[in-house]
Structure 1
Amino acid sequence: MIGLLGLLAGLGLLIWLALRDVNIVFASVLCSLVVIATNALPLADSLSNSYAFGDLGAFTFAGRFFLLFAAGAIFGRLMGDSHAATSIAMALVRRLGAHRALWITVLSCALLTYGGVVVFVVIFAMYPLGLRLLKEADIPKRLFCGAAALGAGTFTLTALPGTPSIHNVIPTLKLGTDLFAGAGLGLFGGAVMLALGMFYLERERVKARAAGEGFVAGPNDVIPDLDAIQKDMPHWALALIPMIVVIGTILAPRLLELAGIGGSSAILQFANSQPVIWPSMALILASVIAVALFPAIRKGGLRLMGNGTQDAIMPLIATSAVIGFGGVVAQTSGFATFTSAVLGADLPPLLSVFTAASAVSGITGSSSGGLQIFMATLADPYLAKGIDPEELHRIVAMASGGFDSLPHCGAVIAMLTITQLTHKQAYKDVGVVTVIVPVVATLLTVGLAMIT
């Protein structure tokens, strides 16, 4: 009983510290010590193995996925500094109108994340342009957080097939699937997320206008002068080429395989056997092409790539630290009791998968952390129940993207820090589009999978 209370206390403390902007790495270590002490786990082994270097350890995760994080951050830095991301967004402005700022933010973030840019970098890249759009349309800044979270942190990360996101890669390592697993289910779930999320955001925009709530800049906000960067901004069609290269490179092996071409090719075999390296190579190839295409970054391309690598460090360490906390939690008797209860519950298998993945992601405050723990501890029992690996891949990925976005989520904290808003000001909108909407969409997808 004390161990279970300690587990809950550690989780509660992690959320409390996150809400108070305490460094997530420090918070994860402190909360891990609480769990270790209350569950009488061996101190040295728990810190060096369970937290740091074990199968679910922080540094094991960081080492396994460093290249993917770095490649995504490099690509994002180049797309931002070349003004290619701004060009794509402004093309949407010209076609949709600045008054549709929320739609433009969602679609721009979605294009960038589906093209391989990591979430943290997308927020950095989109925020300056978002400020200008919000000011012109007189929309509260809190709704930018909701729109960016919907576009960058929901359907493009967990639902849409083919995305090179870490959330779509992790299941492939355990299940032997590819990035397009459960494509039909993913497209359905992604469409539901987008529809429900935009319905909520547009409703909130109308309510805010009726209440007289408009745009208020933060003390450190700098609204960019588009005229000043116009000469360096590539045409939107040219700006799309690196993103097309990313998706095309990832998609090529599957298309060739379906066409019966190059089945014995060493390159094709390599691509199918390297779910982390291949999308990383796609991002690096697209980065090189971006440097060649865009004059604004051509001279300083290597320096910007180095800066992009630096951009990846803190998101990777923050994510890894939360996973380390989850690695400690996974060693407790309370977690063993939870997994036994979920596996033994009288639920349809896919609904049980949703419950387990959602709970683990909620505990860790990280969809990638929840996925990692689920795949290491629960994937085999569910496969033994006869669940199709492709269905398991897609449902688990989508389920991990719901309760992960509770207030202690590192991505949520980073977004609020960047936008200079507090949980009290903006978390309601973020919570609706990143918790409630994905949960509803995943449950509907589970229902679809069960009747087809």
Structure 2
Amino acid sequence: MTAVDVFGYAGLLVALVALIALAMRGVDIIFAALFSSLIVIISNGLPLATALNDYFAFGKLGAFTFAGSFFLLFAAGAMFGRTMGDSQAATSIAQALSAKLGARHALTITVLATGLLTYGGIVVFVVIFAVYPLGIKLIQQANIPKRLFCGALALGAGTFTLTALPGTPSIHNVISSVNLGTSLFAGAGYGLLAGAIMLLVGLWYLERQRVAAAAAGESFVAGPMDSKIVGNDQTLHTPAWGLALLPLVAVIGLIMLPRLFKGSFEPQSLLGQSLMFANSQPLLWPSLALMAGTALALLLFPSVRSKPLQTIGDGTRDSIMPLINTAAVIGFGGVVVQTAGFGAFSQGLLNLDMPPLLSMFLSVSTLSAITGSASGGLQIFMSSMADNYLALGIPVETLHRIATIASGGFDSLPHCGAVVAMLTITGLSHRQAYKDVAVVTVVIPVVATLVCLAIAAAV
């Protein structure tokens, strides 16, 4: 190994450490990604103009290539989320769960409410904002430490509904579908198993921690941003929970419709052609389903029906920062994959004397850890490494689902943009809340992935 190689490898390591350290200090993730990319560029001798204009910005894995491809999905999800939030439909669903289960089960209610909303296609950031006010009231009533509420938000909004459950219109599921030509329901059995492990073990962990906290005298402490919420006893004017569910049911139903009726109609008929179109558009069809759900919500709920353009406009604006933050991290990955060190790493994993499924797991996990993003790591893997693993004999549907599940493990390290945003919203520090977040979003999903790997290897 030459001195140049050592310098390049060191640069990759320093860049990754810098990205994590800056994110943990609350530095904007876009700046952190650009700064870390410059470290990689300089230490690995990449041409500056090409690296910034092509590798980072507009190349195959460029930030704006990703943003352009996925803008419609992010925008549609944010519009739907804003409409469900402003209409109080999301709150109505959470209140119905609370009435059924009781405030004592505030953590379970938070997980189920956020899980239902994210499975319906609402982006994580919007779901956290929508559920947070009611969740704070519930944990105040049950006297549960706020750090565990943060863990419940992370479990419901950032694990099983994003990477495991088949059919979800999440960006992760769509990335695999677009790159592999599979449906959103690919590898459904593995997804259901992994989703059940994440949900049930995650709930068990949170409940165990709740009991331990109560025994230790740990209680709810309101943060500076919570005073208006916990001090407000006015009842929100919410729609009936059954009515509130209709837009979510419509979105999920429309996404499932093409698969359920695939081949049921003559290809020449209008319905047949419509189903063929839907099945051939894994990115566009979920976006259209989310738009249809938004339209239905605007028709059903008077509080947003009176100002539809403002609600949709606010929702579109909500999508910009999550999209750009994700794109910036992917741009960092786009620079990393152009280095000789990454090429050697990729080839080394492929050449290791281990089963292809295990090698694939390590590849996806490492990329997600480097980028701090499940969608970023998965996009890089699908674009640069997936074909190699298909050539090694991994069935395409198995690769779709297990790679997607694997992307949602080591992505949630401290520099993950979603983790940083959630801690900011909840007013907690990494020191206060990250341990519980790490267990439910890193440890348990990794265990679920390994269980699926073992079963896939035995089949």
TM range (shorter): over 0.9
User: Cα–Cα, structure 1 residues 61 and 39, in superposed 2: closer, same or farther, change >3 Å?
Assistant: same
Is 1:164 the counterpart of 2:164? The answer is no
1:323 pairs with one of 319, 322, 330 = 330
Deviations 1:32-55 (A, max 9, x none): 000000000000000000000000
Output the CA distance in 1 between the equivalents of 2:206 and 2:265.
Answer: 45
Matched residue, 1:101: 106
Shift, 1:228, TM fit: 3.8
Output the CA distance in 2 between the equivalents of 1:226 and 1:63.
Answer: 42
Deviations 1:372-422 (A, max 9, x none): 100111011001111111000000000000000000000000000000111
1:278 pairs with one of 279, 282, 285 = 285
Matched residue, 1:35: 40
Is 1:419 the counterpart of 2:423? The answer is no
Q: Structure 1: 5+ residue runs without aligned partners?
A: none
Matched residue, 1:78: 83
Equivalent pair of 1:129/1:224 in contact (CA under 8 Å): no
Matched residue, 1:55: 60
2:442 pairs with one of 435, 441, 445 = 435
Is 1:392 the counterpart of 2:399? The answer is yes
Matched residue, 1:300: 307
Equivalent pair of 1:70/1:308 in contact (CA under 8 Å): yes
* Identity fraction in percent: 63
| DSSP-derived class of the 1:34 partner | helix
Matched residue, 2:196: 191
User: Cα–Cα, structure 1 residues 278 and 176, in superposed 2: closer, same or farther, change >3 Å?
Assistant: same
TM-score, normalised via structure 1 length? 0.98
Letter paired with 2:425? I
Equivalent pair of 2:140/2:230 in contact (CA under 8 Å): no
Is 1:90 the counterpart of 2:67? The answer is no
Matched residue, 2:72: 67
Equivalent pair of 2:165/2:188 in contact (CA under 8 Å): yes
Matching of residues 146-185 of structure 1 within 5 Å? 146-185=151-190
Output the CA distance in 2 between the equivalents of 1:332 and 1:390.
Answer: 30
Shift, 1:266, TM fit: 2.0
Equivalent pair of 1:77/1:305 in contact (CA under 8 Å): yes
Shift, 1:270, TM fit: 1.2
Alignment: residue pair count: 450
Q: Displaced runs of 4+ in structure 1, greater than 4 A?
A: 224-227
Output the CA distance in 2 between the equivalents of 1:102 and 1:341.
Answer: 43
User: Cα–Cα, structure 1 residues 262 and 73, in superposed 2: closer, same or farther, change >3 Å?
Assistant: farther
Matched residue, 1:368: 375
Matched residue, 1:25: 30
Output the CA distance in 1 between the equivalents of 2:43 and 2:22.
Answer: 19
Equivalent pair of 1:353/1:382 in contact (CA under 8 Å): yes
Is 1:356 the counterpart of 2:363? The answer is yes
Letter paired with 1:261? F
Letter paired with 2:65? T
Output the CA distance in 1 between the equivalents of 2:113 and 2:352.
Answer: 42
Matched residue, 1:261: 265
Letter paired with 1:428? K
Output the CA distance in 2 between the equivalents of 1:263 and 1:257.
Answer: 10
Deviations 1:150-171 (A, max 9, x none): 0110000000000000000001
Output the CA distance in 1 between the equivalents of 2:404 and 2:251.
Answer: 21
| DSSP-derived class of the 1:125 partner | helix
Output the CA distance in 1 between the equivalents of 2:360 and 2:428.
Answer: 35
RMSD: 1.1
